[in-house]
A and B are shown apart, each in its own frame.
Chain A
Amino acid sequence: MKAIAAALAVCTSFLAVSVVLAWTQNSGKPPVAAAPKYDPAIYAELQKAPEKARNRANPLQNDPDAVAAGAILFEQHCAECHGHSAEGSRKAPSLLAPEVQSATPGTLFWLLTNGVVRKKMPVWSKLPEPQRWQLVRYIKSLGGPAPEAESPAPKP
């Protein structure tokens, strides 16, 4: 009987925590602080892309469905850290920043493929190559200059 009582007590306490968590999540105050202030140095990772990678063109640049598909992929894989509108969060920087929006599609693709594993950004090569290009199309559609006007990243 003691074991049953202990089990019930443990389960009840977890359920109580559930209720508290549900209440806090519905109260409009997210558990993580929404203060996306990032060290600009984080964007320096983009400059590490090799020239060959930077100059790669997006093969889905003219695919009419790429942005919509990329938006779904972004919500499924990226929004948790970068925010639902890519505005950034405590976990990961904003993708609306000029450093990201002015980067070439090839640079963003390279960063997605390699991640920044020492700075919490996972490797995303598990997404097939076309899906990574779809994500790049979506990210670039969020507020960067038109593809023709994109300035390539400076040579190291």
Chain B
Amino acid sequence: MAPFCRLVAIGSFCRLVFLGILLLSLLPVFAPPAALAQENPYFVAYDHYLEEPGNLEIEYFSTFGTQRGGNNFHAYWVEFEYGATAWWTTELYLDGQTTFNDSTVFTGFRWENRVRPLKHEHFINPILYVEYENKNGADKILKEGEGHDVESDFLVPNAEARKEHLHEIELKLILSSTFKGWNFTQNTLAAKDLSNSPWEFGYALGASRPLALKASAKRCTLCPQNFVAGVEMYGGLGDRHSFGLHHTSHYLAPALVWNLPSGWTLRISPGFGLNDNSHRFLLRWGVSREIAGFGSMVSWLFRGRK
């Protein structure tokens, strides 16, 4: 694999190809049975719904972004989201990006945990979020807005940007509410590079609603209840030394998700920069599949048959 990578001069892209082959070979193992996901359309904001216990959701997401004064980019990530319990979801991300006329690089991994502290449903439901990020400076997935991150940060060529290594802890307080079919969510973010950097802050807001609240009495793929439309807004709030909106980027993004009865979920979201520090346009899309009973299958493999 390595000589081939050198031959075609695409470096880390081979790692992604290798990973893809590995994942494809894994899919048949875990493909049956799928579960119908009932996902909200957000790409950045989180609501208070966790993965069902024992289920694994494999997700692929892409972000195409325009870049003033530089090359446009296509960033992507794979998520493995597992419902450890009904109150704890854990998730692994693998990130990469392609900057046009530059190169393709693997940009790192993230390990995320979301915990539901309250037993019952309330009008506002808090979720605690803790994430560890091990990434390099070429990361462009824009999974959150934080600190003073602005469009011009993305002008650094990949070869130089990837030399910067970041170990970051990210904390979020997710406050989410569902009322008459509408979901409203507000995420407050605090992130810190584990080097001597100040705490950085950010936010995400989201609202969404299924196109129909009642389910159809017939099996259907295009029924309105399978679609959820929404909008999200996110951006940075500066850091501990300069909290506020000065020199921060902000985005507004309508979003649509299609929860297919086959267990697949498709998402799309065009995003628009709200100020001169933001990328003018981001187009995000994603595909995911939820695998029911993954935990049972794994424990059965190691337990043996009785």
The residues of A with any CB-CB pair to B shorter than 8 Å are: 1, 3-4, 7, 10-11, 14-15, 17-18, 21-22, 24-25, 29, 31-33, 60, 65-66, 68-70, 72-73, 76-77, 80, 90-91, 113-123, 125-131, 134
A72-B215, A114-B121, A131-B214 known; A32-B296 Cβ under 8 A? yes
* Contact in complex: B53, A120 (CB < 8 Å): yes
Is B306 a contact partner of A33 (Cβ separation < 8 A)? yes
Assembly CA distance A126 to B37 (angstroms)? 10
B53 x A73 contact (CB < 8 A): no
On chain A, the residues within 8 Å of B293 by CB distance are 32, 80
CB-based contact A18/B32 at 8 Å: no
Q: Which of B85, B116, B121, B215 contacts A131 (CB 8 A)?
A: B215
Q: How far, in whole Å, are A119 and B178 apart by their CA atoms in the complex?
A: 23
Contact A31 B300 (CB under 8 A): yes
Closest residue of chain B to A31, judged by CB? B300
Contact of A72 (CB < 8 Å), options: B26, B32, B52, B219: B219
6 A-B pairs closest in CB distance:
A3-B1, A65-B217, A68-B217, A76-B36, A128-B213, A11-B25
Given A76-B35, A115-B86; 4 other pairs, CB 8 A cutoff: A10-B25, A14-B28, A128-B214, A130-B215
Q: Identify which of residues 281-306 in chain B touch chain A, using a CB-to-CB cut-off of 8 Å.
A: 292-293, 296-297, 300-301, 305-306
Residues of chain B at the chain A interface (Cβ within 8 Å): 1-3, 18, 21-22, 25-26, 28-29, 32-33, 35-36, 38, 40, 47-50, 52-54, 83, 85-87, 116, 119-121, 178, 180-181, 183, 210, 213-219, 225, 261, 292-293, 296-297, 300-301, 305-306
The reply to whether A118 and B87 contact each other, CB–CB distance below 8 Å, is yes
* Bound: A14/B183 CA distance, A: 40
**Complex alpha-carbon distance, A114 and B121, angstroms:** 5
Q: Cβ of A134 and Cβ of B214 under 8 Å apart?
A: yes
Q: Contact check, B121 vs A125: say whether CB atoms are below 8 A apart.
A: yes
- Contact with B21, one of A7, A117, A127 (Cβ below 8 angstroms): A7
In the assembled complex, how far is the CB of residue B208 from the closest CB belonging to chain A, in whole angstroms? 11
In the complex with contacts A10-B22, A117-B119, A69-B214 CB distance below 8 A: yes
Residues of A within 8 A of B292 (CB): 80
Q: How far is the CA of A109 from the CA of B144 in the complex (A)?
A: 35
Contact A69 B216 (CB under 8 A): yes
Q: Are B33 and A11 in contact, with the CB atoms below 8 A?
A: no
Which B residues are CB-close (under 8 A) to A76? Answer: 35-36, 261
Interface of A is mostly: helix
Partner of A11, one of B1, B21, B296: B21
- Give the docked Cα–Cα distance between A129 and B179 (Å): 9
18 contacts between A and B (CB under 8 A): A7-B1, A14-B22, A14-B25, A15-B25, A25-B32, A31-B297, A32-B296, A66-B217, A76-B35, A77-B36, A80-B293, A120-B86, A122-B50, A122-B86, A123-B50, A126-B183, A129-B181, A131-B213
Contacting pair A123 B49 (CB below 8 A): yes
The distance in angstroms between the C-alpha atoms of A114 and B83, with both chains bound, is: 17
* A1–chain B nearest beta-carbon distance, Å: 8
Rounded to whole angstroms, the CA-CA distance of A7 and B178 in the bound complex is: 46
Residues of chain B within 8 A (CB-CB) of A122 are: 50, 52-53, 83, 86
* Chain A residues within 8 Å of B54, by CB: 91
B1 touches A127 (CB 8 A): no
Bound: A17/B26 CA distance, A:
9
Contacts of B181 in A (CB 8 A): 128-129
Q: When A21-B29, A77-B36 are in contact, do A117 and B305 touch as well, CB less than 8 Å?
A: no
Taking the closest CB of chain A, its distance from the CB of B51, in whole angstroms, is: 8
CA distance A139 to B27 in the complex (A): 33
Closest B residue to A16 using CB positions: B29
Chain B residues with Cβ below 8 Å from A115 are: 86, 121
